[in-house]
């Protein structure tokens, strides 16, 4: 079997074994369908929709509007409300992920069904990720043991929802593949791995969702499949239909990546700044807003400058700590702290589990 490498794959960590990846950031507009699924699942577990939408900048009526787009930060607010209401217990994300059926994704779901073989489906699935509700950054990679993996990272995702979205997005991927081969008896998933630690009592939830061995405290979170699965034809493959739908998906992908809303602009601005020691007023001026206009626009999108700033700072902190080429002083300066001690105190306040080792 020959699987061509993704020609667009560049950057650190790229290898000849990687054949598909998500090329776009997760911070893009998405439909309200993802939030509606979360609310539907939560309602079955005693959590009201009004509670989940509190502070998210959207109404219950918006959940039924198929064309309405919301910002990623608004969905994050809903996820935070869910975890606060039900407790951030292991397995919630995996259970919610089972509710993301192919019909939830519009054109994206039709495209996956029309692809020729699984390898094409994986490439298309990752390329058009802006048409989904994913926050995890996924990569398809061949392994040396006649298998391949779909791995998931939380690049830039706020720490407090990271475990949930990894579980949900991997579970949703499994659910989609089950539906693509419904009634065929195809069962290529071999095992699931998570970086998080889970007590013995909670592990039964994951086994129920995935139906294969699930391992914890691993080096990375991933789904492991038979390599031969990549060559398997899709039951409803249709090259003509796929070509037609790809045109629609390309248009939607471009629209969503170029319409990220004010929250997306602020996040991009902070990520590009040499230091996070910048105020709302400075950000507003550089983005050509008044401070009042920026504050009100973010409120309408269900977030605030402080929330975005804190999320970016926490996410960058974990990425920078893992970069062994940076000194403590460089890390502190990039994050907008006067010195390493100030940064260390902030880390303790966050209750982070990351280890700020010697640089």
Show the domain range for 333.
262-350
For residue 285, being part of any structural domain is answered with yes
For residue 2, being part of any structural domain is answered with no
Looking at the fold, whether 329 and 215 belong to one and the same domain comes out as no
Q: Which residue has the higher pLDDT, 87 or 45?
A: 45
Q: What pLDDT is recorded for position 301? A: 72
Looking at the fold, whether 69 and 159 belong to one and the same domain comes out as yes
Residue pLDDT, tens place only, 158-197: 999 999 999 999 999 999 999 999 989 888 899 999 999 9
The pLDDT-based confidence of 259 (bands split at 50, 70, 90) is low
The pLDDT-based confidence of 235 (bands split at 50, 70, 90) is very high
- Could you give phi then psi for residue 59, rounded to 5 degrees? -105, 165
321 in helix, strand or coil? helix
Looking at the fold, whether 204 and 189 belong to one and the same domain comes out as yes
137-142 and 18-21: which strand pairing?
A: antiparallel
Q: Which residue has the higher pLDDT, 172 or 60?
A: 172
C-alpha–C-alpha distance, residues 341 and 357, integer Å = 13
For residue 186, being part of any structural domain is answered with yes
Looking at the fold, whether 166 and 269 belong to one and the same domain comes out as no
Looking at the fold, whether 331 and 241 belong to one and the same domain comes out as no
For residue 357, being part of any structural domain is answered with no
Residue 112 is encoded by which pair of tokens?
């996956």
Query: What is the number of domains present in the chain?
Result: 2
CATH number of the structural domain spanning residue 278: 1.10.10.60
Looking at the fold, whether 80 and 103 belong to one and the same domain comes out as yes
For residue 22, being part of any structural domain is answered with yes
The pLDDT-based confidence of 355 (bands split at 50, 70, 90) is very low
pTM of the predicted model, to two decimals?
0.74
Q: What pLDDT is recorded for position 197? A: 92
Mean pLDDT (whole number) for 226-231: 95
CA distances from 346 to 158, 316, 350 (A): 15, 13, 6
Tell me whether residue 23 is exposed, middle or buried, using C-beta atoms within 10 angstroms of its C-beta: 0 to 12, 13 to 18, 19 or more. middle
Given 217, 241, 257, the domain boundary residue is 257
Looking at the fold, whether 35 and 170 belong to one and the same domain comes out as yes
Looking at the fold, whether 195 and 117 belong to one and the same domain comes out as yes
DSSP string, 46-102: T--HHHHHTTSS--TGGGG-TT-EE-HHHHHHHHHHHHHHH---TTHHHHHHTT--G
C-alpha–C-alpha distance, residues 343 and 335, integer Å = 8
Looking at the fold, whether 238 and 302 belong to one and the same domain comes out as no
- Whose CA is closest to 356, among 309, 318, 310, 315? 318
Given 213, 236, 257, the domain boundary residue is 257
Q: Which residue has the higher pLDDT, 320 or 139?
A: 139
Looking at the fold, whether 302 and 172 belong to one and the same domain comes out as no
Length of the chain: 359
* Angle in degrees, CA 15, 3, 194, rounded to 5: 55
Q: What pLDDT is recorded for position 260? A: 64
C-alpha–C-alpha distance, residues 216 and 220, integer Å = 9
Q: How far apart are the first and last CA of the chain?
A: 44
For residue 75, being part of any structural domain is answered with yes
Looking at the fold, whether 113 and 34 belong to one and the same domain comes out as yes
167 within 8 A of 189, measured Cβ to Cβ: no
For residue 356, being part of any structural domain is answered with no
For residue 359, being part of any structural domain is answered with no
Statement: residue 213 has pLDDT above 80: yes
18 within 8 A of 148, measured Cβ to Cβ: no
Looking at the fold, whether 213 and 231 belong to one and the same domain comes out as yes
C-alpha–C-alpha distance, residues 170 and 192, integer Å = 9
Given 224, 241, 257, the domain boundary residue is 257
CB burial readout 152-161, b (16+ within 10 A) else e:
bbbebbbbbb
The pLDDT-based confidence of 6 (bands split at 50, 70, 90) is very low
């Amino acid at each position: 079997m020959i699987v061509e490498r993704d020609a667009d794959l560049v950057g650190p960590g790229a290898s000849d074994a990687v054949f598909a990846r998500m090329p776009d950031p997760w911070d893009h507009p998405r439909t309200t369908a993802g939030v509606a699924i979360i609310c539907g699942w939560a309602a079955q577990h005693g959590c009201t929709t009004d509670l989940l939408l509190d502070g998210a900048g959207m109404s219950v009526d918006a959940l039924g509007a198929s064309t309405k787009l919301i910002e990623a930060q608004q969905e994050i607010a809903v996820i935070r409300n869910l975890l606060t209401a039900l407790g951030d217990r292991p397995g919630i994300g995996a259970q919610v992920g089972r509710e993301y059926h192919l019909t939830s994704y519009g054109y994206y779901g039709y495209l996956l069904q029309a692809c020729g073989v699984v390898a094409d489906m994986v490439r298309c699935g990752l390329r058009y990720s802006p048409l989904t509700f994913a926050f995890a950054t996924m990569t398809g990679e061949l392994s040396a043991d006649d298998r391949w993996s779909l791995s998931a990272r939380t690049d830039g995702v706020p720490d407090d929802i990271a475990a949930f979205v990894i579980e949900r997005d991997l579970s949703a991927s499994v659910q989609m593949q089950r539906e693509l081969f419904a009634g065929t008896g195809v069962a290529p998933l071999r095992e699931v791995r998570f970086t998080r630690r889970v007590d013995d009592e909670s592990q039964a939830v994951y086994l129920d969702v995935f139906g294969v061995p699930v391992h914890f405290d691993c080096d990375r979170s991933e789904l492991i499949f038979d390599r031969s699965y990549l060559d398997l034809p899709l039951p409803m493959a249709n090259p003509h239909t796929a070509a037609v739908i790809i045109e629609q998906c390309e248009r939607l992908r471009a629209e969503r990546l170029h319409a990220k809303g004010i929250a997306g602009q602020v996040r991009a601005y902070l990520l590009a700044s040499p230091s996070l020691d910048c105020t709302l007023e400075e950000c507003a001026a550089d983005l050509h807003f008044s401070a009042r206009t920026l504050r009100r626009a973010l409120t309408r999108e269900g977030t605030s400058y402080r929330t975005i700033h804190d999320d970016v700072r926490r996410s960058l902190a974990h990425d920078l700590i893992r970069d062994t080429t940076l000194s403590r002083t460089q890390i502190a300066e990039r994050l907008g702290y006067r010195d390493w001690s100030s940064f260390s105190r902030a880390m303790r306040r966050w209750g982070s589990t990351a280890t700020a080792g010697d640089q």
